[in-house]
A and B are shown apart, each in its own frame.
Chain A
Amino acid sequence: MDEDIRSFFARMTEVSPSGRHRIEGVRRAFADERMREALLRKHPVGRLKDVQKPLRHYFDAAGADIHLSPQRKAGIFQRILRENERRTASNASEVHSLFLAFWNVLRPLRLLAGVVLAVLVGGTTLAFASESSLPGDFLYPVKVEVVEPLMGMVSLTQESKSMWEIELTHRRYLEAWALVTEGELKNSQVDSLLSHIEEHVEHAFRAIEKIEEGDGIEEALKMQSDLEATLQGHAQALDVLGQQGKQSTRLTKLSVRTRYLERRSERIRESMEEDLFQDTTVQLQEIAEGEGSILDARVQALHEELENLDGQELLPETEECIVEIQEALDDVQDALENGDYQEAYVRNQEGERMVTEVEVLLDLQDAMASHEAADEAITTEDGEQEDENRREEEPVIPLESQSDLP
């Protein structure tokens, strides 16, 4: 190779002696290039190709630990099959003929007629009885498939619809608590509850989206914050139950999913807040002051509720929240005085969410206390019965023979 290059330059010099100077320049440039290459060979670390790894390397490294565990994979597969069947079932009930189309139009009326009939034949008793049913109970499908949808039909505005969906989400968590305190929460029930909760949360998201389109962002934000607070409160409550070691494995599943829904809700709320602050037409001062007085009223009501607890010990989580609420309330006042309405609004919303969280935690505490009281009552009843049985079994010694006793 070197020979060829040398002969090339020699030939060039012969062919064009007048261009010798120019050719010398080319020769030098060529030699420089060769020297650089030799240097790079000697010090490979300085070579770009060696140092810069192929793109694939970066992607491989980034994706190395992204994988589904076999259990997770199996769980997803099971959920897929359940969802398939659910969708197949709902598709089957879709319109396939004119008659069915007509029937579908009449469906709300059919339901109404069903209700009237149910009232006439004493179905209300069934509806009331189903209200206290839990997943796995015979009447539970009546509650979630018939009674609750009927109750939801009276929610005509998007605001009341979203409130109803938040209420239903709350109800499902209360059912979970009831099952956990009874020690009867099964995996299948966790799945069923989660599926209902996710459905309610999705419906609430949709209703809130419509509120934003119709009534404006302020109203939508309130509902979004409410939904987030409900999820936040229940996530906290599930953690409390989990710490007590009650069916912790099943609770973890419920808790993880709740935290995920809470985060989703939080992101949407944050994004809505950004939109609100960017909207120049919004009178932030007015809103912040108005919301501030609502928080104030809610805190007053909460204090009254706490006074009614008659010195009952609070959960540490509840106490922590109460301290934070007070801080939020102080911050809101400071921000309003300083004219920082954005900060006032944000802290106010945080305060309100914490009030909701405390309310959920107080509900949980109540539920746990009444369950313990019921347990004690059962234990006492059992004890009394045992005493009675023992008395019956004891031989009655006739009076006249008592003197024979030592």
Chain B
Amino acid sequence: MPVLDLPFYSSTVSEEHASLLPAFTELFDRYAQPIFRHCFFRVRDEQLAEDILQETFVRTWEYLASGRKILHERAFLYRTATNVIIDEMRKQKRRPTVSLDEMMEAGQEPRQDVDAQPLGELDRDQLFALLDRLEEPYRELLILRYVDNCPPREIATIVGRSAAVVSVQLNRAVRKLRSLLPHG
């Protein structure tokens, strides 16, 4: 049985919007995984990333249901996800710190001293520790470039800046991150 079984889900959609379902299902099928990964890198919480993914697609559905068309699907979804993340952060106001217990619960090892690691090895927590040392928009740009493999032109569409500005900022972000890497 396919994971996203259309006949099964169609019962939960009103007749008015049933025609949107095949395209929407395909969109979700194609982008759920990358958007989830993107959100996880941004919020570092699997459950929250799942919630943001859900809200992103709910907003996308609302957009489609209002009769509007999406020209650049990927850019649209990333931009929507970014908006949801911003809303979520505003809602929480305070950025929570991840406790040791929670990290252990999530099956992650506690963060280690980056500089103490052998050259060329870096785990996820250490990478996150390095990213935390960068300010925005550098973090976001690096994630879009290296996690989501978006070319600078597409990143420009997502973040709503010109491609030239994005290229410059991306360059700076790379240099900053490299300077933080052990023996960088």
> What is A's interface to B at a CB cutoff of 8 Å?
48, 51-53, 55-56, 58-63, 66-68, 70-74, 76-85, 87-88, 260, 263, 267-268, 270-271
Please, what's the 1-or-0 string for B155-184, where 1 marks a CB less than 8 Å from any CB in chain A? 000000000000000000010011001011
19 of the cross-chain contacts (CB-CB < 8 Å) are: A48-B183, A55-B174, A56-B146, A58-B146, A59-B146, A62-B41, A63-B37, A66-B46, A67-B33, A67-B37, A70-B3, A73-B3, A73-B4, A74-B5, A77-B4, A78-B12, A80-B28, A81-B13, A88-B17
> With A62-B124, A83-B54 known to touch, is A77 a contact of B28 (CB < 8 Å)?
yes
Q: Which A-chain residue is minimally distant from B13 (CB atoms)? A: A81
Q: How far is the CA of A96 from the CA of B28 in the complex (A)?
A: 31
In the complex the two chains form, what is the Cα distance from A129 to B119 in whole Å?
A: 70
Inter-subunit contact B4/A74 (CB<8 Å): yes
Q: Say whether chain A's binding surface is mostly helix, strand, loop, or mixed.
A: helix
B72 at the interface (CB under 8 A from A): no
Q: Is the CB of A66 within 8 A of B37?
A: yes
Tell me, in angstroms, the Cα distance from A48 to B58 when the chains sit together. Answer: 47
Q: What residue in chain A is nearest B66 (Cβ atoms)?
A: A91
- Nearest chain-B residue to A50 (Cβ)? B120
Closest chain B CB from A88 CB (angstroms): 7
Closest A residue to B41 by beta carbon equals: A63
Q: Mark B60-88, 1 if CB is under 8 A from A, else 0.
A: 01100100000000000000000000000
Q: Which residues of B contact A (CB under 8 A)?
A: 3-5, 9, 12-14, 17, 25, 28, 32-33, 36-37, 40-41, 46-47, 50, 53-54, 57-58, 61-62, 65, 92, 94, 96, 102, 119-120, 122-124, 127-128, 142-143, 146-147, 174, 177-178, 181, 183-184
- State which of A87, A263, A271 has its C-beta within 8 Å of the C-beta of B58: A87
Question: Which of B36, B53, B65, B96 meets A88, CB within 8 Å?
Answer: B65
Q: How far is the CA of A80 from the CA of B30 in the complex (A)?
A: 15
Q: Which residue of A lies closest to B25 (CB)?
A: A77
Q: Which of B36, B61, B92, B183 contacts A84 (CB 8 A)?
A: B61
Could you tell me if B54 and A79 are in contact, using CB atoms closer than 8 angstroms?
yes
A-B contact count (CB 8 A): 112
Q: Please pick, from B47, B147, B184, the residue contacting A59 in the complex, using a CB distance under 8 A.
A: B147
A52, B183: Cβ atoms under 8 Å? yes
Which residues from A are CB-within-8-Å of B3? 70-71, 73-74
CA distance in complex: A80, B61 (Å): 9
Task: Write the chain B residue with the least CB distance to A81.
Answer: B12
Given known contacts A76-B53, A79-B54, A82-B12, A55 and B146 CB-to-CB distance under 8 angstroms: yes
Q: Say whether A77 contacts B9, CB under 8 Å.
A: yes
Q: Which residues of B contact A66 (CB under 8 A)?
A: 36-37, 40-41, 46
How far, in angstroms, from A66 to B125 measured CA to CA in the complex?
13
Instruction: Report Cα–Cα, A71/B102, bound state, in Å.
Output: 24
Expressed in whole angstroms, the minimum distance between the Cβ of B122 and any Cβ of chain A is 5
A63 with B58, Cβ < 8 A, contacts A52-B183, A80-B28 known: no
Residues on B with beta carbons closer than 8 Å to the beta carbon of A87: 58, 62
A81–chain B nearest beta-carbon distance, Å = 5
Residues of B within 8 A of A51 (CB): 119-120, 183
A271 to B96, CA, bound (A): 7
Contacts of B119 in A (CB 8 A): 51-52
Contact A62 B123 (CB under 8 A): yes
Please tell me if the beta carbons of A84 and B4 are within 8 angstroms of each other in the complex.
no
Q: How far is the CA of A53 from the CA of B92 in the complex (A)?
A: 37
